[in-house]
């Protein structure tokens, strides 16, 4: 699954267009490398999102095409 879609499905970022813009502007890192929106996310990847001075880290636990609002939190684990 593309990283911009994963960020939206997991509800880390509310809209896919915002997730796409964050990736294209270099604010999304996977395993320490800056990635574009087309990067394929896999279970075990470490996501790092930078918004201003705030850095958020997440570990991808599983990838699902669709999920409920309650099930979205099961897709990742917050690391910091």
Q: What mean pLDDT is predicted for residues 9-15?
A: 94
For 13, the domain range is: 3-78
Q: At 19, which helix (H) or strand (E)?
A: helix 16-24
pLDDT of residue 57: 96
Beta-strand pair 33-34/46-51: unpaired
Classify the phi-psi angles of 60: left when phi > 0, otherwise alpha if psi is within -120 to 50, otherwise beta: beta
Is the whole model's pTM more than 0.75, yes or no? yes
Overall number of domains in the chain: 1
What is the per-residue pLDDT across 24-76, written as a single tens digit (0 to 9) for each?
A: 999 999 999 999 999 999 999 999 999 889 999 999 999 999 899 989 999 99
CATH number assigned to the domain comprising residue 54? 3.10.290.10
pLDDT of residue 52: 87
């Amino acid at each position: 699954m593309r990283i911009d879609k994963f960020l939206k499905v997991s509800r880390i970022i509310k809209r896919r267009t915002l997730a796409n813009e964050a990736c294209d502007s270099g604010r999304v890192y996977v395993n320490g490398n800056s990635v574009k929106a087309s990067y394929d996310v896999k279970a075990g990847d470490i996501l790092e999102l930078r918004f201003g001075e705030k850095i958020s880290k997440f570990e991808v636990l599983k990838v699902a095409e669709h999920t409920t609002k309650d099930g979205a939190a099961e897709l990742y684990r917050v690391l910091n």
